[in-house]
């Protein structure tokens, strides 16, 4: 790739990997009704805060990856840097098209950033805005991340004859592991309470030696 393209590619690949990991965990937690019920039964306020924070960060992460090459006189780390760093004319043309498509598809994330995340648009906050924010869901964010991954893999495949996995990344001891612990804990508590309602007390059901949190 050469130094200039190689350095930009390496950092953007890292940024996309980190964002993809976080989004994958977000999808694990909030992608189904049954899991939402489980979280609401355990710690609804905490999981609401987590969802809000990770969702905003997913949208912000996308806007950073597709940002203009420069803003406020400063150069940005963005996929829009790629075309001018690629010497191969055919590859540059393909990359330019992919970049334009991704930037256009990410318009919804930029609208959310401008009106609700980075700034609090007054008209929108007071429900006076003539148009609501554009629809945005897990599929929309996932689709943009997938397209960015395909863009990076086209460049990597051309120069290195290899690709990088940006989807379905291996995660151990993550969100799903936490949900299993919560499920088992809630079930255990349900069984204990039913026993108490029947005036049944079993010391083994209570761990009085557990350390304080």
pLDDT at 137 over 80: yes
pLDDT top residue among 14 and 213: 14
What is the pLDDT, as a whole number, of residue 126? 86
DSSP state letters, the chain: --HHHHHHHHHHHHHHHHHHHHHHHHHHHHS-HHHHHHHHHH-HHHHHHHHHHHHHHHHHHHHHHT--SEETTEE--SGGGHHHH---HHHHHHHHHHHHHHHHHTHHHHHHIIIIISS--HHHHTT--SSPPPP--HHHHHHHHHHHHHHHHHHHHHHHS-----SS---SSSHHHHHHHHHHHHHHHHHHHHHHHTT---GGG--TTPPP-
Structure tokens belonging to residue 95: 């990359």
Q: What percent of the chain has pLDDT over 90?
A: 71
pLDDT at 60 over 80: yes
Instruction: Supply the pTM of this predicted model.
Output: 0.87
The stretch 129-154 carries a mean pLDDT of 93
What is the pLDDT, as a whole number, of residue 179? 93
Structure tokens belonging to residue 18: 């980190």
pLDDT at 66 over 70: yes
pLDDT in tens, 68-114: 999 888 999 999 999 999 999 999 999 999 999 999 999 999 999 99
What is the pLDDT, as a whole number, of residue 208? 66
What is the pLDDT, as a whole number, of residue 72? 86
For the beta carbon of residue 171, count every other beta carbon within 10 angstroms.
13
Asked if 79 contacts 151 with a C-beta cutoff of 8 angstroms, the reply is yes
What is the pLDDT, as a whole number, of residue 70? 92
| Cα separation, 154 vs 111, whole angstroms | 28
pLDDT at 205 over 90: no
pLDDT at 178 over 80: yes
What is the pLDDT, as a whole number, of residue 213? 67
pLDDT at 210 over 90: no
The stretch 59-73 carries a mean pLDDT of 94
Instruction: Return mean pLDDT, the chain.
Output: 91
């Amino acid at each position: 790739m050469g130094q200039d393209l190689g350095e930009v590619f390496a950092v953007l690949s890292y940024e996309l990997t980190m964002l993809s990991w976080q989004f994958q965990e977000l999808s694990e937690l909030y992608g189904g009704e049954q899991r939402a019920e489980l979280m609401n039964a355990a710690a609804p306020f905490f999981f609401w805060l987590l969802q809000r924070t990770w969702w905003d960060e997913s949208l912000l992460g996308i806007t950073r990856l597709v940002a203009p090459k420069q803003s406020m006189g400063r150069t940005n780390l963005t996929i829009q840097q790629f075309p001018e760093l690629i010497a191969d004319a055919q590859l540059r043309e393909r990359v330019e098209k992919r970049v334009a498509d991704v930037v256009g598809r990410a318009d919804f994330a930029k609208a959310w950033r401008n009106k609700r995340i980075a700034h609090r648009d007054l008209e929108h906050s007071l429900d006076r805005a003539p148009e609501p924010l554009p629809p945005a869901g897990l599929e929309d964010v996932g689709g943009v991340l997938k397209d960015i991954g395909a863009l990076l893999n086209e460049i990597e495949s051309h120069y290195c004859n290899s690709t990088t996995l940006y989807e379905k990344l291996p995660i151990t001891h993550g969100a799903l592991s936490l949900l299993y612990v919560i499920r088992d804990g809630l079930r255990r508590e349900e069984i204990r309470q039913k026993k108490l309602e029947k005036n049944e007390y079993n010391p083994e059901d209570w761990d009085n030696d557990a350390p304080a949190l």
